[in-house]
A = this chain, B = another copy of it.
């Protein structure tokens, strides 16, 4: 899932995840400053620039990107382990990172979370009160750029009414899981042999 800061990605995720069995949420690593109330290993793995660059050098990240002066990245190991256990993996990524993962894993499903309007996004960013005016402007300009790439995504969930956004987000995961492409010829053969 991708979407501007302030669009409600975390709110949707927290509301949806308890209902969805067998879905692993990948916690990103970042060099950005920990906000009030954030916990290492919960919202993010918070790292120094030096540590992050060491992970990079050791090929320990599935993707990474720089955003508003900070690094964000996805540690590979937990993702690959979850997939090996047969779980689906949910990644929360900036556009650049999402593109990199799609390149490495073309079967990935890309979900874009969109604000109802840009002025509503601006209002949400200001009411959060965590960013400087400069950061808010950078985030808005990034949001404009990301919207232009919306057709690269498989799905677009507009976070206008939260209950509907959560419903649609969950629906995407449930629906993707029952796509016929996951039916194997041996499943059909077993079925036909059974009577």
A interface residue count range (under 10 / 10 to 19 / 20 to 34 / 35 or more): 35 or more
The smallest beta-carbon distance between A171 and chain B, in angstroms, is 4
The smallest beta-carbon distance between A2 and chain B, in angstroms, is 12
Query: Given A118-B191, A118-B194, A192-B148: A176 and B175 within 8 A (CB)?
Result: yes
Q: Is the interface of A mostly helix, strand, loop or mixed?
A: helix
Is the beta-carbon distance between A192 and B147 smaller than 8 angstroms?
yes
Give the chain B neighbours of A191 by CB distance below 8 A: 114, 117-118, 147
Residue A168 at the chain B interface, CB threshold 8 Å: yes
Q: With A and B bound together, what is the CA distance between A180 and B158 in angstroms?
A: 11
- Number of copies of this chain that the complex holds: 2
Query: Given A118-B194, A194-B117: A155 and B179 within 8 A (CB)?
Result: yes
Residue A23 at the chain B interface, CB threshold 8 Å: no
The smallest beta-carbon distance between A168 and chain B, in angstroms, is 5
Give the chain B neighbours of A192 by CB distance below 8 A: 118, 144, 147-148
